Amino acid sequence: MRYAGMKISTWQIIFIVILTLCVSIGYADILFQDDFEGKNAIGQRVIDETKWMTLPSWQLSKNEDNHAVLGKRVLDIWGHGVGLSVAELPEEFDYYADFKTMEGTGPGSVACFVFHAQEDEEKGGPLRPQANSIYNYYSALLATEGAKYSPQHIGWGVRFARERVWRVWRVPFADGQNRKRDVWYRVKFEVRANQQFYVYLGEVGANPNELIFVGTWTDQEKRFARGKIGFSMTGRVEGGWGERAQFDNIVVTTPGFLPVEPKRKLPLTWGKLKLK
């Protein structure tokens, strides 16, 4: 066709459309990310409190496993309640993370992820706020080798702050494979409308399309539609008692986009998205 004296071919039109799509994808589809490599004004690595509602049990530890994808620091949690993101996330998103379960004490060898955390707004008396305990939320507890309760299972949980109740439905990994303690894995959670959840697992550093489906769960009562993400571990700060796990490379995107596998650190390459 002709426009303003210029001849535009079909291939040129296709190229323009593709370019427009790439620009529209951009960085807007990253809803949240953190690789725990941030520094304060004097160059110390610290947990970014503009992103996280931290707990005393949260600390940064050295990457002792020397996986290049993990950088210099990882988030180390040893027990004590639920820590959450500052920002709320929408009803649907994809949530990627690298994690390693560790021995700890008590149940041990678990990593617990939280979704749709929201403040309890029911009337009828004060709550006793401690360790973000005023929040209701869904959780997915990944129990590996060495867990005291249901190793090689996913524990889908619902927590009610006012009732101080945590209900859990445990199901084995759908692929039948065993996951080891003290080994890094990559997880992807698909959080979808109508309170549907899907989880995929693979080796740390695996591309998103290499992750294996290991479970799904739907909350038939449709309790919480949106909210914060985070991690929940049980135990006490004093004496380092409780469950212990490490986390890194947290990336939350809109559904249907894949972070490109990082050859360097997360902000450089996980931010470049491509269509599934």
Residue 253 CA from chain centroid, whole number: 10
Interval 238-262 mean pLDDT: 81
Q: Is residue 22 part of a domain?
A: no
Interval 260-266 mean pLDDT: 48
Question: Which range is least confidently modeled, 112-116, 170-174, 234-238?
Answer: 234-238
Q: Is residue 115 part of a domain?
A: yes
* pLDDT (tens digit per residue) in 46-88: 999 999 999 888 999 999 999 989 999 999 998 888 999 999 9
Position 150 pLDDT exceeds 60: yes
> How confident is the model at residue 104, as a pLDDT?
79
> How confident is the model at residue 263, as a pLDDT?
45
Q: Is residue 108 part of a domain?
A: yes
Q: Is residue 2 part of a domain?
A: no
* pLDDT (tens digit per residue) in 1-24: 444 444 555 544 444 334 444 444
Q: Is residue 8 part of a domain?
A: no
Q: pTM (2 decimals)?
A: 0.82
CATH number at residue 83: 2.60.120.560
Q: Is residue 9 part of a domain?
A: no
Long-range contacts made by residues 266-274, C-beta under 8 angstroms, separation at least 24?
266/33, 266/34, 266/35, 266/37, 266/71, 267/33, 267/35, 270/30, 270/33, 270/96, 271/27, 271/30, 271/33, 273/25, 273/26, 273/29, 273/30, 274/25
Interval 201-226 mean pLDDT: 94
> How confident is the model at residue 19, as a pLDDT?
41
Provide the mean pLDDT of the chain: 82
Position 125 pLDDT exceeds 80: no
Task: Report how many domains make up the chain.
Answer: 1
| Beta-carbon contacts of residue 11 (< 8 Å; ≥ 6 apart) | none
Instruction: Kindly report the number of other CB atoms within 10 A of residue 241's CB atom.
Output: 16
Q: Which domain, by its residues, includes 256?
A: 29-275
CA distances from 92 to 122, 191, 220, 228, 252 (A): 25, 5, 17, 12, 10
Find, among 254, 145, 141, the residue nearest to 191 by Cα: 254
Q: Which has more confidence, 92 or 17?
A: 92
> How confident is the model at residue 29, as a pLDDT?
87
